[in-house]
Structure 1
């Protein structure tokens, strides 16, 4: 895990169709929404749009062209 201030970056590998996972914690839910809008406009494959997850984080998930799952999350405002 790499972090600075409140931003965290974590890379993991799991078995299955999308074995590599990258998790980025950002500072605000607005940042999650901004990234969602930007990436949606650019044609990214959005696996799950932003929402508050059962574990309490505001999070979205997308798949990059190589199949990596990218999770972007923030603590709800």
Structure 2
């Protein structure tokens, strides 16, 4: 179920439950098992190239785009703010 990821790195029903201020879900479909792991997050941002992905119905903000492009832009902006 976890695609070969070590159990301590899994988020969701079969792993850790998170409750951060902001949770950025990248490239996930929005399967119930994963979303259970982030449901206590105060603000959820979803990034997925598939506009019909279920993750968007559970996110506070959704971005339909290539996750690599979005994360590169996010890192660039964070770096600029931190200087």
TM-score category by the smaller chain? under 0.3
**Structure of higher CA gyration radius:** 2
Task: State TM-score, norm by structure 2.
Answer: 0.23
The higher relative CO (CA closer than 8 Å, separation ≥ 6) is in 1
Task: State TM-score, norm by structure 1.
Answer: 0.24
Higher helix share: 2
Higher strand share: 1
